[in-house]
Amino acid sequence: MRFWIQSRNDELSNRLLLEAKDYLLGFGLIFDEDEPDIVLSIGGDGTLLHAFHKYSHRLKKTAFVGIHTGHLGFYADWKPSEIEKLVISIARKEYDVIEYPLLDVTINYQGDRESLHYLALNESSVKSPDVTLVMDVLLNDKHFERFRGDGLCMSTPSGSTAYSKSNGGALVHPSLPSMQLTEMASINNRVFRTVGSPLVLPDHHKCILKPVNGPDFMVTVDHLQLLHEDVKSIEYEVSSERVRFARFRPFPFWKRVRDSFIDNND
Ligand code: NAD
Protein backbone atom coordinates (compact mmCIF):
# COMPACT_ATOMS: atom_id res chain seq x y z
CA MET A 1 0.00 0.00 0.00
CA ARG A 2 1.15 3.54 -0.81
CA PHE A 3 0.70 6.49 1.52
CA TRP A 4 1.37 10.20 1.67
CA ILE A 5 1.26 12.62 4.60
CA GLN A 6 0.15 16.26 4.38
CA SER A 7 1.24 18.41 7.33
CA ARG A 8 0.10 21.87 8.43
CA ASN A 9 3.83 22.50 8.84
CA ASP A 10 3.84 23.56 12.48
CA GLU A 11 6.27 21.89 14.88
CA LEU A 12 3.83 19.34 16.34
CA SER A 13 2.34 18.38 12.95
CA ASN A 14 5.82 17.90 11.45
CA ARG A 15 6.94 15.80 14.43
CA LEU A 16 3.85 13.58 14.07
CA LEU A 17 4.48 13.35 10.32
CA LEU A 18 7.94 11.88 10.94
CA GLU A 19 6.59 9.53 13.61
CA ALA A 20 3.75 8.23 11.39
CA LYS A 21 6.04 7.97 8.35
CA ASP A 22 8.62 5.89 10.30
CA TYR A 23 5.93 3.55 11.62
CA LEU A 24 4.32 3.03 8.19
CA LEU A 25 7.67 2.50 6.41
CA GLY A 26 8.50 -0.01 9.17
CA PHE A 27 5.31 -1.88 8.30
CA GLY A 28 6.48 -2.08 4.66
CA LEU A 29 4.21 0.61 3.21
CA ILE A 30 5.53 2.82 0.40
CA PHE A 31 5.81 6.61 0.71
CA ASP A 32 4.45 7.88 -2.63
CA GLU A 33 3.40 11.48 -3.22
CA ASP A 34 2.07 10.82 -6.75
CA GLU A 35 -0.25 7.85 -6.37
CA PRO A 36 -1.10 7.28 -2.71
CA ASP A 37 -3.89 4.88 -1.67
CA ILE A 38 -4.25 6.71 1.61
CA VAL A 39 -3.39 10.29 2.62
CA LEU A 40 -2.93 11.24 6.26
CA SER A 41 -3.59 14.89 6.92
CA ILE A 42 -1.99 16.22 10.11
CA GLY A 43 -3.13 19.69 11.24
CA GLY A 44 -6.72 20.90 10.97
CA ASP A 45 -9.69 20.86 8.61
CA GLY A 46 -7.81 23.38 6.42
CA THR A 47 -4.93 20.88 6.03
CA LEU A 48 -7.38 18.22 4.88
CA LEU A 49 -8.96 20.66 2.41
CA HIS A 50 -5.47 21.21 0.92
CA ALA A 51 -4.88 17.43 0.71
CA PHE A 52 -8.30 16.94 -0.93
CA HIS A 53 -7.52 19.49 -3.66
CA LYS A 54 -4.05 18.04 -4.22
CA TYR A 55 -5.58 14.63 -4.99
CA SER A 56 -8.98 15.67 -6.41
CA HIS A 57 -7.98 14.11 -9.76
CA ARG A 58 -7.82 10.60 -8.22
CA LEU A 59 -10.65 10.47 -5.69
CA LYS A 60 -11.64 6.92 -6.62
CA LYS A 61 -8.16 5.71 -5.70
CA THR A 62 -7.18 7.81 -2.69
CA ALA A 63 -8.81 7.75 0.76
CA PHE A 64 -8.22 10.45 3.39
CA VAL A 65 -7.83 10.46 7.15
CA GLY A 66 -7.35 13.54 9.34
CA ILE A 67 -5.46 13.99 12.61
CA HIS A 68 -5.98 17.28 14.46
CA THR A 69 -3.09 19.03 16.16
CA GLY A 70 -5.33 21.91 17.29
CA HIS A 71 -8.99 21.66 18.26
CA LEU A 72 -11.22 18.80 17.06
CA GLY A 73 -11.96 19.17 13.37
CA PHE A 74 -14.80 17.83 11.27
CA TYR A 75 -12.48 16.07 8.87
CA ALA A 76 -9.49 16.01 11.23
CA ASP A 77 -11.06 13.87 13.94
CA TRP A 78 -8.16 11.73 15.22
CA LYS A 79 -6.14 12.85 18.26
CA PRO A 80 -2.29 12.90 18.13
CA SER A 81 -2.24 10.40 21.03
CA GLU A 82 -4.07 7.89 18.81
CA ILE A 83 -1.42 7.92 16.04
CA GLU A 84 0.12 4.54 16.93
CA LYS A 85 -3.30 2.84 16.89
CA LEU A 86 -4.08 4.56 13.61
CA VAL A 87 -0.93 3.48 11.76
CA ILE A 88 -1.34 -0.13 12.94
CA SER A 89 -4.91 -0.13 11.57
CA ILE A 90 -3.67 1.35 8.27
CA ALA A 91 -0.91 -1.24 7.96
CA ARG A 92 -3.38 -4.07 8.65
CA LYS A 93 -5.96 -2.45 6.33
CA GLU A 94 -8.44 -2.58 9.20
CA TYR A 95 -10.67 0.25 8.13
CA ASP A 96 -13.89 0.98 6.28
CA VAL A 97 -14.28 3.59 3.61
CA ILE A 98 -17.15 6.05 3.84
CA GLU A 99 -18.07 8.42 1.03
CA TYR A 100 -19.36 11.98 1.22
CA PRO A 101 -21.00 14.04 -1.55
CA LEU A 102 -19.14 16.84 -3.33
CA LEU A 103 -20.15 19.98 -5.21
CA ASP A 104 -19.47 20.58 -8.92
CA VAL A 105 -18.76 24.23 -9.70
CA THR A 106 -18.70 25.46 -13.31
CA ILE A 107 -17.82 29.06 -14.14
CA ASN A 108 -18.84 30.19 -17.63
CA TYR A 109 -17.30 33.32 -19.16
CA GLN A 110 -18.44 35.80 -21.76
CA GLY A 111 -16.91 35.45 -25.24
CA ASP A 112 -14.91 32.40 -26.31
CA ARG A 113 -13.15 31.71 -23.02
CA GLU A 114 -13.45 28.09 -21.88
CA SER A 115 -15.46 27.32 -18.75
CA LEU A 116 -13.60 26.38 -15.57
CA HIS A 117 -14.61 23.41 -13.41
CA TYR A 118 -13.92 22.88 -9.73
CA LEU A 119 -14.86 20.32 -7.09
CA ALA A 120 -15.65 21.58 -3.59
CA LEU A 121 -15.50 19.54 -0.40
CA ASN A 122 -17.03 22.28 1.79
CA GLU A 123 -18.57 24.99 -0.36
CA SER A 124 -18.31 27.62 -3.04
CA SER A 125 -19.30 31.21 -2.36
CA VAL A 126 -19.76 34.24 -4.60
CA LYS A 127 -19.25 37.87 -3.63
CA SER A 128 -18.88 41.07 -5.54
CA PRO A 129 -15.38 42.62 -5.26
CA ASP A 130 -16.80 46.10 -4.53
CA VAL A 131 -20.54 46.84 -4.96
CA THR A 132 -23.59 44.89 -3.73
CA LEU A 133 -23.87 41.49 -5.39
CA VAL A 134 -26.89 41.28 -7.68
CA MET A 135 -27.51 37.85 -9.16
CA ASP A 136 -30.47 36.07 -10.67
CA VAL A 137 -30.90 32.64 -9.12
CA LEU A 138 -32.23 29.96 -11.49
CA LEU A 139 -33.35 26.56 -10.25
CA ASN A 140 -33.48 23.92 -12.99
CA ASP A 141 -33.34 26.68 -15.65
CA LYS A 142 -36.36 28.54 -14.18
CA HIS A 143 -35.95 32.00 -12.66
CA PHE A 144 -36.40 31.71 -8.88
CA GLU A 145 -35.35 35.08 -7.43
CA ARG A 146 -33.14 38.12 -7.88
CA PHE A 147 -30.64 38.25 -4.98
CA ARG A 148 -29.18 41.51 -3.70
CA GLY A 149 -26.78 41.43 -0.79
CA ASP A 150 -23.29 40.46 0.32
CA GLY A 151 -23.11 37.06 -1.31
CA LEU A 152 -24.38 33.54 -1.87
CA CYS A 153 -22.91 30.27 -0.66
CA MET A 154 -23.55 26.75 -1.95
CA SER A 155 -22.35 24.05 0.40
CA THR A 156 -21.99 20.28 0.48
CA PRO A 157 -23.53 18.31 3.37
CA SER A 158 -20.14 17.95 5.11
CA GLY A 159 -19.53 21.68 4.50
CA SER A 160 -22.83 22.50 6.22
CA THR A 161 -20.97 22.74 9.56
CA ALA A 162 -18.54 25.34 8.12
CA TYR A 163 -19.23 28.65 6.29
CA SER A 164 -22.83 27.64 5.50
CA LYS A 165 -23.58 27.32 9.24
CA SER A 166 -22.35 30.89 9.79
CA ASN A 167 -24.87 31.98 7.13
CA GLY A 168 -27.73 30.36 9.05
CA GLY A 169 -27.74 27.16 7.00
CA ALA A 170 -29.08 23.87 8.34
CA LEU A 171 -26.71 21.06 9.32
CA VAL A 172 -27.15 18.32 6.70
CA HIS A 173 -26.14 14.72 7.28
CA PRO A 174 -23.46 13.70 4.72
CA SER A 175 -25.45 10.60 3.74
CA LEU A 176 -27.86 12.94 1.90
CA PRO A 177 -26.58 13.66 -1.64
CA SER A 178 -27.55 17.32 -1.70
CA MET A 179 -26.33 20.90 -1.79
CA GLN A 180 -27.49 23.92 0.22
CA LEU A 181 -27.78 27.55 -0.90
CA THR A 182 -27.48 30.17 1.84
CA GLU A 183 -27.73 33.95 1.64
CA MET A 184 -25.25 36.42 3.07
CA ALA A 185 -27.01 39.56 4.28
CA SER A 186 -29.70 39.79 1.61
CA ILE A 187 -31.44 43.14 1.11
CA ASN A 188 -35.13 42.56 1.77
CA ASN A 189 -37.73 45.35 1.71
CA ARG A 190 -40.86 46.35 -0.27
CA VAL A 191 -38.80 46.62 -3.44
CA PHE A 192 -36.29 43.77 -3.21
CA ARG A 193 -37.25 40.29 -2.10
CA THR A 194 -35.56 36.91 -1.73
CA VAL A 195 -36.93 33.76 -0.14
CA GLY A 196 -34.72 34.39 2.91
CA SER A 197 -34.42 30.71 3.86
CA PRO A 198 -31.61 28.29 3.00
CA LEU A 199 -32.54 25.96 0.11
CA VAL A 200 -31.55 22.30 0.23
CA LEU A 201 -31.43 20.90 -3.31
CA PRO A 202 -31.28 17.22 -4.29
CA ASP A 203 -28.69 15.67 -6.56
CA HIS A 204 -30.69 15.89 -9.78
CA HIS A 205 -31.20 19.66 -9.47
CA LYS A 206 -29.08 22.45 -10.88
CA CYS A 207 -28.65 25.99 -9.59
CA ILE A 208 -27.39 28.72 -11.91
CA LEU A 209 -26.34 32.20 -10.77
CA LYS A 210 -26.48 34.89 -13.48
CA PRO A 211 -24.85 38.27 -12.86
CA VAL A 212 -27.05 41.33 -13.16
CA ASN A 213 -24.66 44.13 -12.23
CA GLY A 214 -21.10 43.76 -13.40
CA PRO A 215 -19.19 40.72 -14.62
CA ASP A 216 -16.39 40.40 -12.00
CA PHE A 217 -16.77 38.24 -8.89
CA MET A 218 -14.81 36.79 -6.01
CA VAL A 219 -15.53 33.08 -6.10
CA THR A 220 -14.34 30.78 -3.35
CA VAL A 221 -13.97 27.03 -3.60
CA ASP A 222 -13.15 25.81 -0.07
CA HIS A 223 -9.96 27.69 0.96
CA LEU A 224 -9.26 28.90 -2.61
CA GLN A 225 -10.41 32.43 -3.43
CA LEU A 226 -10.07 33.93 -6.89
CA LEU A 227 -11.30 36.98 -8.78
CA HIS A 228 -13.11 35.82 -11.94
CA GLU A 229 -13.61 38.42 -14.67
CA ASP A 230 -16.29 38.53 -17.41
CA VAL A 231 -18.42 35.87 -15.74
CA LYS A 232 -21.53 34.84 -17.69
CA SER A 233 -22.89 32.36 -15.15
CA ILE A 234 -21.93 30.07 -12.27
CA GLU A 235 -23.47 26.60 -12.16
CA TYR A 236 -23.77 24.37 -9.11
CA GLU A 237 -24.68 20.68 -9.05
CA VAL A 238 -24.13 17.77 -6.69
CA SER A 239 -21.11 16.02 -8.19
CA SER A 240 -21.16 12.45 -9.48
CA GLU A 241 -17.77 12.12 -7.74
CA ARG A 242 -17.44 11.50 -4.01
CA VAL A 243 -14.67 11.90 -1.47
CA ARG A 244 -13.59 8.77 0.42
CA PHE A 245 -12.60 8.83 4.08
CA ALA A 246 -10.93 5.94 5.85
CA ARG A 247 -12.94 5.20 9.02
CA PHE A 248 -11.16 3.24 11.73
CA ARG A 249 -13.83 3.54 14.39
CA PRO A 250 -17.39 4.85 14.48
CA PHE A 251 -17.58 8.61 15.02
CA PRO A 252 -21.12 9.53 14.00
CA PHE A 253 -21.73 12.93 12.37
CA TRP A 254 -24.13 14.08 15.10
CA LYS A 255 -21.55 13.19 17.78
CA ARG A 256 -19.00 15.30 15.91
CA VAL A 257 -21.54 18.13 15.77
CA ARG A 258 -22.21 17.84 19.50
CA ASP A 259 -18.51 17.62 20.41
CA SER A 260 -17.66 20.62 18.23
CA PHE A 261 -20.54 22.98 18.95
CA ILE A 262 -22.14 21.99 22.26
CA ASP A 263 -19.64 20.26 24.53
CA ASN A 264 -17.38 17.24 24.37
CA ASN A 265 -17.71 16.02 27.95
CA ASP A 266 -19.61 12.76 27.87
P1 NAD B 1 -9.51 28.59 8.42
O2 NAD B 1 -8.29 27.92 8.87
O3 NAD B 1 -9.77 30.01 8.80
O4 NAD B 1 -10.75 27.65 8.83
C5 NAD B 1 -11.86 28.19 9.30
C6 NAD B 1 -12.50 27.26 10.32
O7 NAD B 1 -13.41 26.43 9.60
C8 NAD B 1 -11.58 26.31 11.10
O9 NAD B 1 -11.94 26.39 12.45
C10 NAD B 1 -11.93 24.93 10.55
O11 NAD B 1 -11.82 23.88 11.52
C12 NAD B 1 -13.36 25.14 10.17
N13 NAD B 1 -13.87 24.20 9.19
C14 NAD B 1 -13.39 23.93 7.95
N15 NAD B 1 -14.16 22.99 7.37
C16 NAD B 1 -15.13 22.67 8.28
C17 NAD B 1 -16.24 21.81 8.26
N18 NAD B 1 -16.52 21.08 7.19
N19 NAD B 1 -17.05 21.78 9.35
C20 NAD B 1 -16.81 22.52 10.44
N21 NAD B 1 -15.78 23.37 10.51
C22 NAD B 1 -14.97 23.45 9.44
O23 NAD B 1 -9.64 28.56 6.86
P24 NAD B 1 -9.23 27.42 5.90
O25 NAD B 1 -8.43 26.42 6.64
O26 NAD B 1 -8.71 28.05 4.69
O27 NAD B 1 -10.65 26.77 5.63
C28 NAD B 1 -11.49 27.23 4.64
C29 NAD B 1 -12.87 27.06 5.17
O30 NAD B 1 -13.12 28.05 6.12
C31 NAD B 1 -13.90 27.27 4.10
O32 NAD B 1 -14.17 26.10 3.37
C33 NAD B 1 -15.08 27.77 4.89
O34 NAD B 1 -15.99 26.72 5.17
C35 NAD B 1 -14.51 28.26 6.18
N36 NAD B 1 -14.84 29.67 6.32
C37 NAD B 1 -15.76 30.00 7.24
C38 NAD B 1 -16.16 31.30 7.38
C39 NAD B 1 -17.21 31.64 8.39
O40 NAD B 1 -17.67 30.71 9.07
N41 NAD B 1 -17.61 32.90 8.50
C42 NAD B 1 -15.62 32.30 6.57
C43 NAD B 1 -14.68 31.92 5.63
C44 NAD B 1 -14.30 30.58 5.50
Task: List pLDDT tens digits, range 114-136.
Answer: 999 999 999 999 999 888 999 99
Percent of the chain with pLDDT over 70: 99
The ligand 1 atom at the shortest distance from the C-alpha of residue 260 is 20
Give residue 266's pLDDT: 64
Domain map of the chain by residue range?
2-95+248-261, 102-239
The ligand 1 atom at the shortest distance from the C-alpha of residue 76 is 11
pLDDT band at 213 (very low <50, low <70, confident <90, very high): confident
CATH number of 2-95+248-261: 3.40.50.10330
Axis crossing angle, helix 11-26 with helix 83-91, rounded to the nearest 10:
30
What is the best residue among 8, 45, 167, 219 to mutate for testing ligand 1's pocket, by most ligand atoms within 8 Å of CB? 45
Active site residues: 45
Task: List pLDDT tens digits, range 133-150.
Answer: 999 999 999 999 999 999
What homologous superfamily does CATH list for 102-239?
A: Probable inorganic polyphosphate/atp-NAD kinase; domain 2 (2.60.200.30)
- Secondary structure letter of residue 82 according to DSSP: G
Q: Cα separations (Å) of 104 from 96, 128, 138, 239?
A: 25, 21, 16, 5
263 or 50, higher pLDDT: 50
Ligand 1 pocket, residue 160 CB under 6 Å: no
Percent of the chain with pLDDT over 90: 92
Task: List pLDDT tens digits, range 160-176.
Answer: 999 999 999 999 999 99
User: Is it true that 2-95+248-261 and 102-239 share their CATH fold?
Assistant: no
Give residue 214's pLDDT: 79
- Whether residue 183 contacts residue 149, with contact meaning beta carbons closer than 8 Å, is answered with yes
pLDDT band at 77 (very low <50, low <70, confident <90, very high): confident
Cα(135)–Cα(132) distance, rounded to whole angstroms?
A: 10
What's the angle, vertex CA 241, arms to CA 235 and CA 245, rounded to 5? 125
Ligand 1 pocket, residue 51 CB under 6 Å: no
- Residues paired with 184 in a beta bridge: 151
- For residue 130, how far is its CA from the centre of ligand 1 (angstroms)? 23
For ligand 1, atom 21, name the residue with the nearest CA: 162
- Whether residue 62 contacts residue 37, with contact meaning beta carbons closer than 8 Å, is answered with yes
- For residue 162, how far is its CA from the centre of ligand 1 (angstroms)? 5
